[in-house]
Amino acid sequence: MSMMNNVEHIGIAVADLVAAEVVYSALLNSEPYKREAVESEHVATVFFKVNQTKIELLEATSPDSAIARFIEKKGEGIHHIAFEVEDILAEMERLRNAGFTLLNEVPKPGADNKLVCFVHPRSANGVLIELCQEIR
């Protein structure tokens, strides 16, 4: 019955994507499988995959980006944890009814062929939570 699945990826805010890609390539001993700019979010991303676990490096491409504001406030580091969901609309409804604050009224297209919605960190003990559903 649970519609919240495994951790799909962990998002890490970085100041310099090229430098961070070198670090994470060495750390994970693997090359990224995808590089993608998400214009609507003003971010550039690089994705690694280690077995089932994905790491998303995010760099701001504009000072208006949430990633730019995050780094300004907190510095580089873990930005969000993303859970895979079967039915993002149903999960959004469930969380709304449970009193969580959602940052998106409707799911929006995210990186890596996903529909996404974010849960406000205020609702989740300081952690930004992403729900993501694969676009089939």
Query: Under the rule (CB under 5 A), what is the footprint of Zn ion?
Result: 11, 56, 82, 130
The sign of the CA dihedral 49, 20, 112, 117 is positive
CA–CA separation, 123 and 70 (whole Å): 17
Indicate the pairing of strand 53-60 with strand 114-119.
unpaired
Name the residue whose CB lies closest to Zn ion.
Answer: 11
Q: Least separation, in Å, of the C-beta of 1 and Zn ion?
A: 25
Residue closer to Zn ion by CB (options 1, 127) is 127
Q: Which residues contact 16 (CB under 8 A, 6 or more apart)?
A: 59
Residue closer to Zn ion by CB (options 94, 108) is 108
Q: Least separation, in Å, of the C-beta of 62 and Zn ion?
A: 18
Q: Least separation, in Å, of the C-beta of 119 and Zn ion?
A: 12
Residue closer to Zn ion by CB (options 11, 32) is 11
Residue closer to Zn ion by CB (options 73, 114) is 114
Q: Least separation, in Å, of the C-beta of 108 and Zn ion?
A: 12
Check if the beta carbon of residue 115 is closer than 8 Å to that of residue 68: no
What number of other Cβ atoms are within 10 A of residue 69's Cβ? 13
